[in-house]
A and B are shown apart, each in its own frame.
Chain A
């Protein structure tokens, strides 16, 4: 590594020493000097120097100002920015005047107004007056790039940040610059909407108000809002986000760049699904099943009485179905109430979870620096944990080999090899750990399906030690959370239970099968902690006050009636859990960007069976996956409807060749008497012998399928 190799240069008379290869913009920043930029964004790959805002006088070099963002610091370089060089100041002033020639002065109407780099830099570096006396160009606006993004061509300064993101980071290649010169416009191909899981990032990248969010359109101005730092609870990555709130409502979600977790990117699910807080069918009062009269909204006092009655009548024969989206505190509180107060130890977890991978714990950013990344498990990473897909893509761009089929030689031969397991057969990471140990990997990830499955599991096991047999028949089934309420396995369990208590946000999910529905809250309304797929404990903050008391508040009230001591404050509850599970870190010290705990020492040999292989002879193995844009919250955000998966089946190229199927062709997938007709999509990210279909279209298909044209 050349980390110690440095160069010394002078910027505005300040000598500064930076590591070799540092860009001039960063080098100037190290000297405390700002070089203004619009198009420069290191996360988007090599600089393009499109906006010319960073013009500086640089020696040695040609006797004219140069774009500083495209240059790296060299030994003995003398850089003079607008602060000390009249030439550079003149150039920057002229650049801004040129950009503003056709930029409309509609800042009072523009959503970016107040947080706009063009406004700020014009104020600091630009001309105070305009010489442009002709009418400015006007275009039709706003142009919908997708139902989520509106384009204003008049405001665009052609910095190409958005197209560079689309091409070079998300690699969806959908957003391009069409036409040339002054007629250049940002557009998608044809009239197709920008349909991609990361499309919302271009809104945040745009340095002017050219690409704006349709959901945030005219909702608030920057001086009226409050950004609350929290963590996204829609997938196991746990991206750090800022929830912009105004007058007690979440108006948008922005990224809060945790360089080890998300690198400042967000997926559209995390960015736009906040609207589920105002879903039409949100449960705001407890609902009780009343004989002959159907369902009735009741007061909280009455609801707690009923809940107590249900719990006492069940006589300990209680099963709790958890959804993996509860905070650690909630799961612990529920566990403590049910296990210590009622001796009901049986819980139904949404998925397996294991601490075996803690020995291979690395931050997600380690994927970027790996030489070999093995992505196994057959389920699409982007549908479960979208940001991990971006890390894998970044690794590939940096020259890593990305394997979708285990090639032990390549993995063993690599200096740093990372394993990402996404799909069935991981056993919560236990089998992945066995594999990682055998291959001597530097890091391994298991991608769970739920946002906090690991935390819920840990919290539940912390709440008591005793064990008991599963009750039969089930006296009371407690369904905690919407994901559990939507889970068909939980529904099947409810058929067998005498009574059902559902905690849910949405009436559509809870009504009809529950004896008592208690209103739930969303991750944006809770204070608490989540554990992400790396094993990082992250802090959720309450961004808005929910319309109903949060779970912890009423669980603690209920616990009083069963003589269980339980605080309604997440900080105190976390302290109890932390003492057992997280080495006693206090709630207040988790911090805004929480660090990753060190990897535990190699655990005792875990002996488990091999990972489930494709044990299907003849034909193909069907892997069904839950699409990214699905789930109770996303279904209630209609702006995201266009992102729902297409009726497609993913096939590997080898299989397609042997079957004679071309990309886009209609195929029939048949198994055990049922068949589905879907469009074939060839994928390089799939190993032979596997066909991938989303849950929306897989229907009744069994794991062993046959394909015909």
Chain B
């Protein structure tokens, strides 16, 4: 027996009020909520405007990685096979997405801004092997699966390189 029967009525009043509000549930696969511009999702490797890869295979990302999920094997550029400017390029660049914790240290460590974390978070696979992203996958322009929030709507700081250059 409830000592204060009025209290339960009060509680149900809250529930009742919600009935007339719009639901805040988002129907996820149908509706994708925009992510913040600096959201850390799937990595991307970048190219220079002339088509050469920015990555020189220095392995600093691998050194910075706390999850030890990056593997880089470098090789020397030759006149016949020029992949990046300079002497060295990454012959193999792999990220094991099943181990990655999306901390973004690789991005910070990169001396050439070759790797950045993108906006995608839909990277589940049926097999663990498919979660090892190769260089070709990381270099490819990813299909836009996730809408990015309008930069103006959010109070995000201006990137340092736009501020200081």
| Partner-B contacts on A (CB < 8 A) | 106-109, 113-114, 141-142, 217-219, 221, 223-224
Min CB gap B64→A, angstroms? 10
> Main SS of chain A's interface residues?
loop
Is B74 an interface position by the 8 A CB rule? yes
User: A109-B56, A218-B74 are known contacts; what are 16 more A-B pairs with Cβ within 8 Å?
Assistant: A107-B58, A108-B56, A108-B60, A109-B86, A109-B87, A109-B88, A114-B63, A217-B76, A218-B75, A218-B87, A221-B59, A221-B62, A223-B59, A223-B62, A223-B63, A224-B63
- Known contacts A108-B111, A218-B57; is A224 also within 8 Å of B75 by CB? no
Min CB gap A248→B, angstroms? 13
Whether A221 pairs with B63 at a CB distance below 8 angstroms is yes
Q: Which residues of B contact A142 (CB under 8 A)?
A: 87
Q: How far is the CA of A114 from the CA of B86 in the complex (A)?
A: 19
Whether B59 pairs with A218 at a CB distance below 8 angstroms is no
Closest to B76 in A: A218
Q: How far is the CA of A429 from the CA of B60 in the complex (A)?
A: 53
Q: How far is the CA of A142 from the CA of B59 in the complex (A)?
A: 21
Nearest 7 A/B pairs, CB to CB? A108-B58, A218-B74, A221-B59, A223-B63, A109-B88, A108-B111, A218-B88
Q: Which residues of B contact A113 (CB under 8 A)?
A: 58
Q: How far is the CA of A338 from the CA of B114 in the complex (A)?
A: 61
Is B112 an interface position by the 8 A CB rule? yes
| Partner-A contacts on B (CB < 8 A) | 56-60, 62-63, 74-76, 86-88, 111-112
Q: Which residues of A contact B86 (CB under 8 A)?
A: 106, 109
Min CB gap A108→B, angstroms? 3
**Interface residue from A141, A217, A219, A224 paired with B62 (Cβ < 8 Å):** A224
Q: Which residues of B contact A141 (CB under 8 A)?
A: 87
Whether B59 pairs with A224 at a CB distance below 8 angstroms is yes
Q: How far is the CA of A113 from the CA of B59 in the complex (A)?
A: 11
Min CB gap A637→B, angstroms? 19
Q: How far is the CA of A393 from the CA of B75 in the complex (A)?
A: 39
Q: How far is the CA of A113 from the CA of B109 in the complex (A)?
A: 14
Min CB gap B82→A, angstroms? 14
Closest to A214 in B: B76
Closest to B114 in A: A108
Q: How far is the CA of A293 from the CA of B60 in the complex (A)?
A: 54
Q: Can you offer 24 A-B residue contacts whose CB atoms are under 8 A?
A: A106-B86, A106-B87, A107-B58, A107-B111, A108-B60, A108-B111, A109-B56, A109-B86, A109-B87, A109-B88, A113-B58, A141-B87, A218-B57, A218-B76, A218-B87, A219-B74, A221-B58, A221-B59, A221-B62, A223-B59, A223-B62, A224-B59, A224-B62, A224-B63
Q: How far is the CA of A448 from the CA of B61 in the complex (A)?
A: 49
Q: How far is the CA of A164 from the CA of B75 in the complex (A)?
A: 32
Q: How far is the CA of A108 from the CA of B58 in the complex (A)?
A: 5
Q: How far is the CA of A482 from the CA of B139 in the complex (A)?
A: 47
Q: Which residues of A contact B88 (CB under 8 A)?
A: 109, 218
- Known contacts A218-B74, A218-B75; is A109 also within 8 Å of B62 by CB? no
Q: How far is the CA of A476 from the CA of B49 in the complex (A)?
A: 69
Closest to B59 in A: A221
Min CB gap B19→A, angstroms? 60
Q: Which residues of B contact A218 (CB under 8 A)?
A: 57, 74-76, 87-88
**Interface residue from B62, B75, B76, B112 paired with A108 (Cβ < 8 Å):** B112
Q: Which residues of A contact B87 (CB under 8 A)?
A: 106, 109, 141-142, 218
Q: How far is the CA of A400 from the CA of B117 in the complex (A)?
A: 66
Q: Which residues of A contact B56 (CB under 8 A)?
A: 108-109
Min CB gap A6→B, angstroms? 45
Q: How far is the CA of A114 from the CA of B74 in the complex (A)?
A: 15
Q: How far is the CA of A403 from the CA of B76 in the complex (A)?
A: 49
Min CB gap A119→B, angstroms? 13
Whether B59 pairs with A109 at a CB distance below 8 angstroms is no
Kindly name the residue among A141, A142, A217, A218 whose own CB sees the greatest number of chain B CB atoms within 10 A.
Answer: A218
Q: How far is the CA of A141 from the CA of B112 in the complex (A)?
A: 21
Q: How far is the CA of A223 from the CA of B76 in the complex (A)?
A: 19
Q: How far is the CA of A224 from the CA of B65 in the complex (A)?
A: 12
Q: Which residues of B contact A114 (CB under 8 A)?
A: 63
Closest to B111 in A: A108
Q: How far is the CA of A142 from the CA of B88 in the complex (A)?
A: 12
Q: Which residues of B contact A221 (CB under 8 A)?
A: 58-59, 62-63
Kindly name the residue among A106, A141, A142 whose own CB sees the greatest number of chain B CB atoms within 10 A.
Answer: A106
Kindly name the residue among B60, B86, B87 whose own CB sees the greatest number of chain A CB atoms within 10 A.
Answer: B87
Q: How far is the CA of A548 from the CA of B106 in the complex (A)?
A: 38
Kindly name the residue among A106, A108, A219, A221 whose own CB sees the greatest number of chain B CB atoms within 10 A.
Answer: A108
Q: Which residues of A contact B76 (CB under 8 A)?
A: 217-218
Min CB gap B73→A, angstroms? 8
Q: How far is the CA of A113 from the CA of B56 in the complex (A)?
A: 13
Q: How far is the CA of A142 from the CA of B112 in the complex (A)?
A: 22
Q: Which residues of B contact A217 (CB under 8 A)?
A: 76
Closest to B58 in A: A108
Q: Which residues of B contact A108 (CB under 8 A)?
A: 56, 58, 60, 111-112
Q: Which residues of B contact A224 (CB under 8 A)?
A: 59, 62-63
Q: Which residues of A contact B63 (CB under 8 A)?
A: 114, 221, 223-224
Min CB gap B112→A, angstroms? 7
Closest to B89 in A: A218
Min CB gap A204→B, angstroms? 21
Closest to B64 in A: A223
Min CB gap A183→B, angstroms? 23
Min CB gap A171→B, angstroms? 33
Q: How far is the CA of A106 from the CA of B56 in the complex (A)?
A: 10
Q: Which residues of A contact B112 (CB under 8 A)?
A: 108
